[in-house]
Chain A
Amino acid sequence: MKPHPYLRAYMAGVTVPSMMLLVVLSGFLIARYSFHVPIPIERAIIFPMALVPNIFGLWNILYLWLRPRPHLPIGYHGAILPFILAPCGFLLASCLGFLAATSRGLLWFGQIQLPYHVFAIGFCFGLIAYYLVWKYLVGFFNDVLGIA
């Protein structure tokens, strides 16, 4: 039995969003400098850089803690996470001033108008993305670190 299972669970959880941060930052830079979307990168990067990886790590610790008890498979466990992350992200984005709720939908970065029905569909796609990421990527890293 390897020691410090919760530390390894945290590390396995943190790995995926930390790697994804390169994609996120690249996407923000392309959107800003190629498509002229006025993304305030220095403020928008706070949530994916500081909060999301830590919440992934803590969520994976919770998964490991739940293992001896009745628990969901890791894919479904991860698919629950957007229900926590999305409100946090929207709250932070509103506080930082690049998200506004209007009568026609959510206005992101002062330019991207997202109607509420599109937002609802997008949220469902987010659940799918989190399901796949947790099932295959976080599950893989759990396996590598010996806590699967």
Chain B
Amino acid sequence: MNDQPMNDQRMNDELIKDNEKELVNVLQQAVRPVNHELRRDLWPAMLRRLDEHPREQPWIAALFSSATVRAVPWFDWALFAGLIVGASVFPSSIPIWLYNF
């Protein structure tokens, strides 16, 4: 009569161990092992990204950069030259221009 509960307990423990083993197997298949080593060097990629976004130049340099000056059409240069000529022909009008700016 005393052996029957002990047998039940042993069977129960074995069943639990089997379940745990099965759970461990399922988890090992589902979760990939962590790779502590990087697969490649990330620094060259970082340098490439830095080159793609060069440091912004100061606004005053951007305003008078050669690219900006080259982008001005000839017609606007002609207008600018006209302003210089106008101020030269009528220098007395310069204070009035200054007043209205």
Residues B95 and A31 in contact, CB atoms below 8 Å apart:
yes
In whole Å, how far is B75's beta carbon from the nearest beta carbon of chain A? 11
Chain A CB within 8 A of B43 CB: no
Chain A CB within 8 A of B63 CB: yes
A144 and B59 in contact, given A48-B99, A118-B90 (Cβ under 8 angstroms): yes
B80 and chain A: residue at smallest CB distance: A132
A129 and chain B: residue at smallest CB distance: B83
CA distance A23 to B87 in the complex (A): 15
Binds B, one of A57-65, A66-74, A82-90: A82-90
Residues A20 and B82 in contact, CB atoms below 8 Å apart:
no
Name the residue among B83, B86, B92, B101 with the largest chain A CB count within 10 angstroms: B101
The interface bits of chain A over 113-130 (1 if a CB of B lies within 8 angstroms of the residue's CB, else 0) are 010001001100110110
A27 and B98 in contact, given A118-B93, A132-B76 (Cβ under 8 angstroms): yes
CA distance A93 to B62 in the complex (A): 37
Total contacts A-B at CB 8 Å: 79
Chain B CB within 8 A of A17 CB: yes
Dominant SS among interface residues on chain B: helix
Q: Which residues of B contact A131 (CB under 8 A)?
A: 79
Dominant SS among interface residues on chain A: helix
In whole Å, how far is B64's beta carbon from the nearest beta carbon of chain A? 10
Chain B CB within 8 A of A28 CB: yes
Residues A128 and B82 in contact, CB atoms below 8 Å apart:
yes
The interface bits of chain B over 57-90 (1 if a CB of A lies within 8 angstroms of the residue's CB, else 0) are 0010011000010001000100110110011001
List chain A positions with a Cβ less than 8 A from chain B: 17, 20, 23-24, 27-28, 31, 37, 39, 44, 47-48, 52, 82, 85-86, 89, 93, 108-109, 112, 114, 118, 121-122, 125-126, 128-129, 131-132, 135-137, 140, 144
A-B pairs, 6 with minimum CB distance: A27-B98, A125-B86, A24-B98, A128-B79, A31-B95, A89-B100
Given contacts A125-B97, A140-B63, A140-B68, 10 further A-B contacts (CB under 8 A): A20-B101, A31-B95, A44-B99, A48-B100, A85-B100, A86-B100, A112-B95, A128-B79, A132-B79, A140-B59
8 inter-chain pairs at a CB distance below 8 angstroms, sorted by A residue, are A24-B98, A28-B95, A31-B94, A109-B95, A122-B86, A122-B93, A128-B82, A131-B79
